[in-house]
């Protein structure tokens, strides 16, 4: 078996492994997207809840301030009941009216703050519902990943054993080149020689679609003990049996 054939066998097994892992990888990407959305909603919920608690505390403080002003008014009224001077009575009455005006302002702010509390409460409830729904989506995505991993575990194990067997007869230098190309090209370490025009001897690399010198094509067809690479993109070239039989004289 030529080195091109050995590498094609290895390449085929790697493609099968990638195909199995791609399903789990896709499910993992969906899971990460759902988790990111959940985290975003949780941050939003935390921010809105902080605003709600602050508004609620502010409304409580304003209500306490209003109650304090009312208590001061009641004390002045008790004092007014015992005064005998019109001047003193008028002064106390002015103070009461001033406090009433202050109380009206405070109560207006309190009502405004209570309205804000109600709006924020509605938003808190709405986001809490979204967080709950998103949490269910995350749980579903986690289950999908777990089921996918369990489903392909045995198949992956068998394929990886086959790959180890297929890689064993390949010399270390060639295997190292293949593995590096496999990583660099994300699974496209090999490129098929594609015939464009036999009469004009026009051939291209199936990986980069660039023209190949006829010398490179001939080397790929006739060299059995070492890989031949594309002079343009660097992938390892191979020719299908049909092309070999058509071009190599019997």
pLDDT digits (tens, 9 = 90+) for 52-109: 999 999 999 999 999 999 999 999 999 998 888 999 999 999 999 999 999 999 999 9
pLDDT above 90 for 22: no
Q: Nearest CA to 175 among 234, 226, 232, 221?
A: 226
Torsion from C-alpha of 193, 198, 202, 206, nearest 10 degrees: -20
pLDDT band with cut points at 50, 70 and 90 for residue 247: confident
Separation CA 25–CA 186 (nearest Å): 14
Taking only Cα atoms into account, the Rg of the chain, rounded to an integer number of angstroms, comes to: 40
| pLDDT score, position 250 | 61
Longest dimension (CA), the chain: 136
Query: What are 149-198's pLDDT values in tens digits?
Result: 888 888 888 999 999 999 999 999 999 999 999 999 989 999 999 999 99
| pLDDT score, position 83 | 87
| pLDDT score, position 1 | 77
Q: What domains sit in the chain, N to C, each tagged with a CATH number? A: 3-167 (1.10.287.1490), 174-247 (no CATH)
Average pLDDT, the chain: 93
Phi/psi at 203 (5° precision)? -135, 150
Query: What are 2-20's pLDDT values in tens digits?
Result: 898 999 999 999 999 988 8
Q: Do 223 and 239 form a contact (C-beta atoms < 8 A)?
A: no
Percent of the chain with pLDDT over 90: 80
End-to-end alpha carbon distance in the chain: 18
């Amino acid at each position: 078996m030529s080195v091109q054939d050995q590498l094609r066998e290895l390449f085929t097994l790697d493609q099968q492994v990638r195909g199995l892992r791609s399903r789990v990888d896709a499910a993992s990407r969906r899971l990460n997207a759902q988790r990111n959305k959940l985290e975003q909603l949780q941050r939003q919920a935390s921010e809105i809840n902080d605003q709600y608690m602050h508004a609620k505390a502010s409304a409580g403080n304003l209500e306490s301030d209003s109650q304090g002003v009312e208590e001061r008014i009641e004390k002045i009224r008790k004092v007014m009941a015992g005064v005998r001077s019109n001047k003193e009575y008028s002064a106390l009455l002015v103070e009461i009216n001033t406090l009433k005006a202050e109380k009206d302002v405070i109560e207006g702010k309190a009502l405004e703050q209570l309205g804000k509390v109600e709006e924020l409460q509605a938003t808190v409830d709405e986001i809490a519902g979204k967080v709950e729904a998103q949490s269910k989506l995350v749980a579903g995505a986690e289950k999908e990943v777990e089921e996918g991993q369990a489903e392909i575990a045995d198949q992956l194990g068998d394929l990886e054993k086959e790959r180890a067997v297929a890689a064993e007869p390949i010399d270390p230098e060639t295997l190292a080149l293949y593995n590096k190309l496999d990583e660099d090209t994300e699974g496209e370490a090999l490129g098929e020689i594609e015939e464009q025009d036999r009469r004009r001897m026009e051939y291209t690399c199936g990986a980069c679609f660039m023209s190949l010198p006829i010398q490179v094509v001939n080397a790929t067809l006739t060299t059995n003990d070492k890989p031949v690479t594309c002079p343009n993109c660097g992938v390892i070239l191979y020719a299908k049996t049909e092309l070999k039989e058509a071009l190599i004289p019997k």
